[in-house]
């Protein structure tokens, strides 16, 4: 069979790859074939029949060659009945008619059947105006009905707080059921009854037990499933639609905001654009509420006489600049530090560090405020292949083996999880989930293996995997520095036999060997890691371990990288790239590298400090001890994110100047001397970089809320007040400077980033650093290991502002294994007290067999959970004493 | 349509198969290469044990067959012979399809309604009878036909039905 087929559709002949479906071939030929049940991410089904077309194949003679008529043209044998284009694969020489009388009559007949029971209640249907059934009824339907029987009717249902179901409108295309199963892995929806009585619903019509993503609503081609939060809010033609990038996780999904006036009324997927197309998770779809919040700051605030007073922008800028100048003059530039910035756009991140380095002369810049230990800025770059071309999120789904290290993708990276679930259903993807807790992807319904390592044994696990992978031989395609370093690596991990690794981690030796073998043998593979490892006290060691595993298993090679870092915020990668770390300039140029510094010094007309600055946890300590006197904190509720709450309180109290750029008067902002109100993601434009290192231009959907400015304007105003001549008129101007100066970004322009930008790579990848990971010392003291992780419904303080997300998240619970709870004398719902080295936290308990014994799991994203009050983790983690709250009270009294 | 009163008490906490059904359950599972294929036999065993398939029972079937709960619920509703509501001791199923209908099934059904004081899908307050119209029972040569639990009664008329009901205590 040839690799391509020539197909003629309505007279247009095109060549498409063999194995293409007729619906896709028609789209390529620019011929419209209507569809309902067919979906780009689901296998062919042929449920609705609306895509019927006439199909013919060339007749072949006895010699196997196409038979020719007297005029010398091939004779076509037409199939006796119309065929569904969505289930028919192309064949060479295939002829297709979509507008012949037979095709049109057949389609009209299908339409008539689809409308037999449809209520045609378009005026009160939220789908009206963007309904495929409405459009196709207009295009293909008859203008009268021959039916005079009563329509079958169903009762409308709320399937939980997100999904409204009007089954009368349903055409039983099964998209929602299949999407929920094959992409979300939730199986929450099903078809009840059969035939004309078929109705989509949940188990026993209960509220949906699922991720509440609303993708069933998104893929519903009619108004059978609509979004309760958007119900009767608007008509689609009254909305301006703007496609921008979701401000939550690092996947960087495109999101289509529906805006009326100044208000965002809904968020949807984008059908055929972005990394995600139609997909959005619950945060992406319903997490925009904070933008409209009435409590948004609308005026700069300056502290005078002990309280924050609204003031003009220029006055606030002058105040901040004067104080910064005073602190720098009195204590040196090293007394000023800049924190936060993972939620800034690329251009803003660039200007933020430029303000720190070029204007104030300090390298105390760090976006990674949650980190508990210093992590070299290059560690993540090296662990992901030193800047070599990186696999994409789409590639993840085609991998044969995917290893997820320590992250619960459901909370940290929902779209990547959906890609993996789809890969399980539609390709041969096998999962290895290394996580102490049985997270969603580690459940038995997914094909894979769960490496349930003991908390604190991350280094041992990595070393064991590296050794087992090296036992399989030396991977091909290694760059020379790695090949030269392999013998030393072999030596360094020699002691980590599977048996020893089992002893240290609790993961069976067999499972470690098998996981390493699968990784090494797979033709396409991926290793994913995120904050569970980067925010670990031993992060520097663990990242070297991940890098070693990448090279040992073949996931890294001279040509490409299959190791992906999933940062905690939507622009974590951009912040790293732009040098919001204490030891690197933008583009991973070490601050100590005089030659690398030179272009920046020329462009910025400044002498840059050559000493690496303090990292975020070091800044925290230095500020609390009075060595740092001025702090700028941008887009970060530092009192929640800093690893030690008590230290952060001390630091804020001790500083002579605290500047906060924020949307809301957060707890941290309340302690500031100057607060700048800034724009939300929807109100500004700029580039963001997702976990694939893909550059995407985020568009402005609404005008800035009164009194707010994009962050970069604030940085520029303060820089100018400090005497430098920055003159950027737009964020694009800033990007032009980045494109002139920054390795990996050179030569790029905004125009090339739409609709989907490229994934950047470095021309000269960073050198590798191989080695075994050292084991962190077990934390001192008695008690249970504190495990934490993201939750699907909340991420950061902005998500606390809405109504829906906190409602879906419910109250936080301290989750304990039932056996552990029994030992502690705790029942479901009992209040428990967690006592760490620095403080306590009180929460209701929940019994959960997915949490390992000897540990307690507390999600960190809930507003009421402030884990940093317990004290900072050290060594390999943190232990807390858990006891029933009533006992704690008695003891306390 | 009114809801039939719950006549079969079912433990809402039902969590596992009773010991007496274990052999049957294992037997059903042993017939197939994977557990999910046993879902229909498992539902029959459950219906024999509890009389109807309550949500907790369907959850048990889902756990046993390793299927998603909603899917099992969908399967149970797809077929007509699984009871999704409690039924009486004697489940009267009157065939209404064409042969039986021509032979007087409608008259027979109305007679049963009057006599028992219940309609289609309803159960007598004493929990003795549930009455239901059904489609073809494949006894077309001997209509009208009524299935009582798993027994066929054919060539029925009012007098024969009355006599039959006397025997069903």
Per-residue tokens: A393: 């999120």
Q: Report CB contact under 8 Å: B73, A188.
A: no
- What digits encode the pLDDT tens for the residues A481-505? 999 999 999 999 999 999 999 999 9
Distances from the Cα of A322 to the Cαs of A304, A306, A358, B30, B125, in angstroms?
A: 15, 18, 17, 81, 87
Confidence of residue B12 (pLDDT cuts 50, 70, 90): low
**CATH topology for the A334-370+572-753 domain:** Rossmann fold (3.40.50)
pLDDT at B11: 60
Structure-token match 């893929």, residue found: A219
A204 contacts in B (CB within 8 Å)? 55, 58, 73
Contact (Cβ atoms closer than 8 angstroms) between residue A125 and residue A223: yes
Phi-psi region of B168 (alpha: psi -120 to 50; beta: other; left: phi over 0): beta
Which residue in B34, B55, B65, B70 has the most chain A C-beta atoms within 10 A of its own C-beta, making it the best mutation to test that interface? B70
By C-alpha distance, the chain B residue nearest A195 is: B78
Nearest C-alpha neighbor of A230 from the set A704, A804, A794, A810: A804
Q: Is A217 an interface residue toward B (CB < 8 Å)?
A: no
B68 contacts in A (CB within 8 Å)? 181, 187, 190, 445
Among the partner residues B55, B66, B78, nearest to A204 by beta-carbon distance: B55
E strands, A720-847, are: 784-789, 814-816, 831-835, 840-847
Separation of alpha carbons A68 and A76, rounded Å: 9
- What digits encode the pLDDT tens for the residues A670-707? 999 999 999 999 999 999 999 999 999 999 999 999 99
The dotted CATH code for A784-884 is: 2.40.40.20
Separation of alpha carbons A404 and A519, rounded Å: 12
The pLDDT > 70 percentage for chain A reads 99
A190 contacts in B (CB within 8 Å)? 68, 70-71, 73-74
Nearest C-alpha neighbor of A443 from the set A196, A699, A688, A185: A185
Nearest C-alpha neighbor of A714 from the set A638, A662, A657, A652: A662
Least confident of A145-159, A224-238, A399-413: A145-159
- Span A272-285, average pLDDT: 95
Residue A787 has pLDDT above 60, yes or no: yes
Q: How far is B156 from chain A (nearest CA, A)?
A: 31
Domain locations in chain A as residue ranges:
4-114, 126-131+147-238, 334-370+572-753, 380-565, 784-884
Q: Is A523 an interface residue toward B (CB < 8 Å)?
A: no
Sign of CA dihedral A771, A777, A783, A788: negative
Separation of alpha carbons A270 and A272, rounded Å: 6
Structure-token match 């037997």, residue found: B27
Least confident of A139-143, A209-213, A335-339, B73-77: A139-143
Separation of alpha carbons A849 and A247, rounded Å: 33
By C-alpha distance, the chain B residue nearest A209 is: B70
Nearest C-alpha neighbor of A250 from the set A797, A790, A859: A790
B74 contacts in A (CB within 8 Å)? 190-192
Give the DSSP H/E element, type plus range, for residue A563. strand A563-566
Separation of alpha carbons A575 and A588, rounded Å: 11
Outline where B11-157 has alpha helix (H). 22-30, 39-50, 55-65, 69-78, 98-102, 105-116
Q: Give 3-state DSSP helix, strand, coil % of chain A, rounded to 5.
A: 35, 20, 45
- Span A825-839, average pLDDT: 95
- Span B36-56, average pLDDT: 95
Structural domains for chain B: 19-78 (1.10.10.1590), 90-167 (3.40.30.10)
Number of C-beta neighbours around residue A15 at 10 A: 15
Contact (Cβ atoms closer than 8 angstroms) between residue A258 and residue A267: yes
The answer to whether the bond into A755 is cis (omega within 30° of 0) is: yes
Give the DSSP H/E element, type plus range, for residue A630. strand A630-634
Among the partner residues B66, B73, B78, nearest to A203 by beta-carbon distance: B73
Contact (Cβ atoms closer than 8 angstroms) between residue A36 and residue A171: yes
Q: Is A189 an interface residue toward B (CB < 8 Å)?
A: yes
**Class at the top of the CATH hierarchy for domain A4-114:** alpha beta
Q: Report CB contact under 8 Å: A192, B68.
A: no
The answer to whether the bond into B144 is cis (omega within 30° of 0) is: yes
Work out the burial of residue B37: count CB atoms within 10 Å of its CB; fewer than 13 is exposed, 13-18 middle, 19 or more buried: middle
Give the SS3 label for residue B139: coil
Q: Is A203 an interface residue toward B (CB < 8 Å)?
A: yes
Q: What are the b/e assignments for A674-698, b being 16+ CB within 10 Å?
A: bbbbbbbbbbbbbbbbbbbbbbbbb
The pLDDT > 90 percentage for chain A reads 91
CATH architecture of A126-131+147-238: 2-Layer Sandwich (3.30)
Residue B5 has pLDDT above 70, yes or no: no
The dotted CATH code for A380-565 is: 3.40.228.10
Q: How far is A445 from chain B (nearest CA, A)?
A: 8
pLDDT at B1: 33
Confidence of residue A471 (pLDDT cuts 50, 70, 90): very high
pLDDT at A893: 44
B73 contacts in A (CB within 8 Å)? 190, 192, 202-204
Residue A770 has pLDDT above 80, yes or no: yes
Q: Any residues with CB less than 8 A from the CB of A681 and at least 6 apart, and which?
A: A244, A245, A247, A291, A343, A570, A698
Residue A891 has pLDDT above 80, yes or no: no
- Span A832-857, average pLDDT: 95
Phi-psi region of B46 (alpha: psi -120 to 50; beta: other; left: phi over 0): alpha
Number of C-beta neighbours around residue A722 at 10 A: 18
- Span A440-449, average pLDDT: 95
Q: Is A174 an interface residue toward B (CB < 8 Å)?
A: no
- Span A178-191, average pLDDT: 97
Confidence of residue B9 (pLDDT cuts 50, 70, 90): low
- What digits encode the pLDDT tens for the residues A87-138? 999 999 999 999 999 999 999 999 999 999 999 999 999 999 999 999 999 9
Which residue in A163, A185, A192 has the most chain B C-beta atoms within 10 A of its own C-beta, making it the best mutation to test that interface? A192
- Span A283-297, average pLDDT: 96
- What digits encode the pLDDT tens for the residues A366-399? 999 999 999 999 999 999 999 999 999 999 999 9
The secondary structure of A233-296 as a DSSP string is T--GGGSEEEEEE-SSSTT--EEEEEEETTEEEEEE--SSSTTTTT---HHHHHGGGGGG-TT-
Arithmetic mean of pLDDT over chain A: 95
Confidence of residue A756 (pLDDT cuts 50, 70, 90): confident
Residue B8 has pLDDT above 60, yes or no: no
By C-alpha distance, the chain B residue nearest A444 is: B66
B58 contacts in A (CB within 8 Å)? 203-204
Which residue in B62, B65, B74, B84 has the most chain A C-beta atoms within 10 A of its own C-beta, making it the best mutation to test that interface? B74
């Amino acid at each position: 069979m040839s690799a391509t087929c020539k197909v003629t559709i309505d007279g247009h002949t095109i060549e498409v790859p063999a194995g293409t479906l007729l619906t896709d071939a028609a789209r390529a030929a620019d011929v419209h074939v209507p569809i309902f049940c067919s979906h780009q991410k689901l296998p062919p089904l042929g449920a609705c029949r609306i895509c019927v077309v006439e199909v013919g194949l060339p007749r072949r003679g006895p010699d196997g060659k196409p038979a020719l008529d007297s005029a010398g043209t091939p004779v076509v044998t037409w199939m006796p009945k119309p065929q569904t284009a969505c289930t028919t694969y192309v064949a060479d020489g295939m002829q297709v008619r979509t507008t012949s009388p037979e095709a049109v009559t057949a389609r009209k007949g299908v339409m008539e059947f689809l409308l037999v029971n449809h209520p045609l209640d378009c005026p009160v249907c939220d789908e009206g105006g963007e309904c495929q059934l409405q459009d196709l009824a207009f295009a293909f339907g008859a203008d009268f009905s021959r039916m005079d029987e009563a329509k079958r009717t169903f009762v409308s249902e709320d399937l939980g707080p997100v999904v409204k179901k009007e089954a009368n409108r349903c055409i039983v295309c099964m998209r929602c059921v299949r999407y929920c199963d094959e992409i979300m892995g939730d199986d929450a929806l099903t078809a009840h009854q059969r035939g004309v009585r078929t109705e989509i619903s949940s188990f026993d019509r209960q509220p949906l037990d699922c991720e509440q993503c609303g993708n069933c609503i998104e893929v519903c081609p009619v108004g059978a499933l609509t979004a309760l939060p958007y119900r009767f809010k608007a008509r689609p033609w009254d909305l301006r639609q703007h496609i921008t990038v979701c401000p939550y996780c690092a996947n960087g999904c495109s999101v289509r905001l529906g805006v009326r006036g100044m208000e965002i009324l809904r968020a949807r997927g984008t059908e055929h654009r972005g990394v995600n197309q139609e997909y959005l998770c619950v945060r992406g779809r319903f997490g925009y509420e904070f933008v409209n919040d009435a409590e948004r700051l609308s005026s700069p605030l300056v502290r005078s006489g002990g309280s924050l007073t609204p003031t003009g922008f220029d006055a606030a800028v002058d105040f901040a600049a004067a104080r910064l100048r005073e602190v720098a003059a009195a204590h040196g530039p090293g007394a000023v530090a800049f924190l936060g910035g993972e939620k800034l756009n690329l251009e803003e991140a660039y200007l933020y560090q430029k303000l720190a380095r070029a204007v104030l002369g300090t390298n105390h810049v760090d976006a990674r405020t949650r980190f508990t230990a210093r992590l070299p800025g290059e560690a993540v770059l090296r662990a992901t292949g030193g800047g070599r071309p990186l696999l994409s999120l789409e590639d993840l789904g085609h991998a044969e083996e995917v290893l997820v290290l320590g992250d619960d993708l459901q909370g940290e990276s929902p779209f990547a999880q959906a890609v993996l679930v789809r890969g399980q259903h539609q390709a041969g993807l096998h999962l290895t989930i290394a996580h102490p807790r049985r997270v969603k992807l580690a459940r038995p319904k997914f094909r894979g293996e769960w490496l349930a390592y003991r908390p604190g044994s991350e280094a041992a696990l990595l070393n064991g995997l590296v050794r087992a992978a090296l036992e399989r031989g030396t991977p091909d395609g290694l760059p020379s520095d790695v090949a030269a370093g392999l013998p030393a690596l072999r030596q360094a991990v020699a002691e980590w036999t599977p048996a020893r690794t089992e002893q240290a981690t609790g993961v069976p030796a067999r499972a470690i060997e098998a996981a390493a073998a699968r990784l090494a043998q797979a033709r396409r593979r991926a290793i994913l890691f995120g904050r569970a490892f980067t925010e670990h006290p031993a992060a520097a060691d663990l990242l070297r371990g991940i890098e070693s595993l990448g090279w040992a298993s073949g996931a890294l090679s001279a040509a490409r990288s299959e190791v992906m870092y999933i940062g905690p915020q939507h622009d974590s990668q951009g912040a790293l790239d732009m040098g919001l770390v204490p030891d690197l300039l933008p583009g991973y140029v070490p601050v100590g590298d005089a030659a690398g510094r030179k272009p920046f010094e020329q462009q910025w007309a400044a002498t840059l400090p050559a000493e690496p600055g303090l990292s975020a946890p070091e800044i925290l300590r230095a500020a609390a001890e009075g060595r740092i006197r001025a702090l700028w904190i941008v887009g970060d509720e530092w009192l929640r994110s800093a690893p030690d709450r008590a230290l952060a309180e001390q630091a804020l109290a001790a500083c002579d100047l605290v500047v906060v750029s924020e949307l809301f008067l957060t707890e941290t902002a309340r302690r500031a001397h100057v607060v700048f109100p800034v724009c939300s993601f929807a109100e500004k434009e700029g580039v963001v970089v997702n976990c694939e290192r893909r550059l995407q231009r985020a568009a402005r959907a609404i005008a800035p809320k009164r009194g707010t400015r994009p962050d970069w304007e604030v940085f520029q105003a303060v820089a100018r007040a400090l005497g430098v001549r920055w003159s950027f008129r737009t964020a694009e101007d800033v990007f032009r400077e980045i494109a002139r100066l920054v390795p990996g970004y050179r030569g790029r322009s905004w125009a090339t980033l739409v609709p989907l930008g490229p994934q950047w790579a470095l021309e000269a990848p960073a050198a590798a650093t191989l080695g075994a990971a050292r084991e962190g010392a077990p934390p001192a003291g008695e008690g249970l290991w504190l495990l934490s992780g993201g939750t699907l419904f909340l991420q950061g303080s902005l998500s606390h502002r809405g109504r829906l997300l906190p409602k879906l998240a419910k109250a936080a619970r301290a989750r304990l294994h039932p056996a552990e709870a029994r030992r502690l004398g705790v029942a479901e719902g009992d209040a428990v007290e967690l006592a760490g080295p620095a403080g306590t936290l009180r929460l209701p308990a929940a019994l959960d067999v997915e949490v390992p014994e000897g540990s307690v799991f507390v999600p960190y994203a809930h507003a009421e959970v402030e884990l940093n009050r317990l004290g900072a983790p050290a060594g390999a983690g943190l232990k807390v004493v858990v006891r029933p709250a009533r006992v704690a009270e008695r003891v306390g009294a | 349509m009114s809801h039939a009163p719950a006549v079969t008490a079912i433990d809402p906490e039902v969590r596992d198969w009773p010991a007496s059904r274990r052999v049957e359950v294992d037997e059903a599972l042993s017939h197939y290469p994977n557990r999910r294929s046993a879902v229909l036999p498992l539902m029959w065993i459950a219906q024999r044990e509890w009389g109807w398939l309550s949500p907790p029972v369907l959850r048990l079937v889902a756990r046993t067959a390793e299927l998603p709960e909603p899917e099992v619920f969908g399967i149970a509703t797809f077929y007509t012979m699984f009871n999704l509501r409690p039924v009486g001791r004697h489940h009267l199923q009157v065939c209404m399809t064409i042969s039986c209908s021509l032979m007087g099934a409608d008259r027979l059904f109305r007679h049963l309604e009057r006599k028992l004081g219940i309609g289609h899908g309803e159960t007598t307050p004493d929990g003795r009878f549930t009455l239901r119209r059904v489609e073809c029972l494949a006894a077309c040569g001997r209509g009208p036909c009524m299935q009582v639990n798993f027994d066929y009664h054919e060539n029925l008329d009012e007098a024969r039905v009355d006599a039959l009901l006397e025997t069903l205590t």
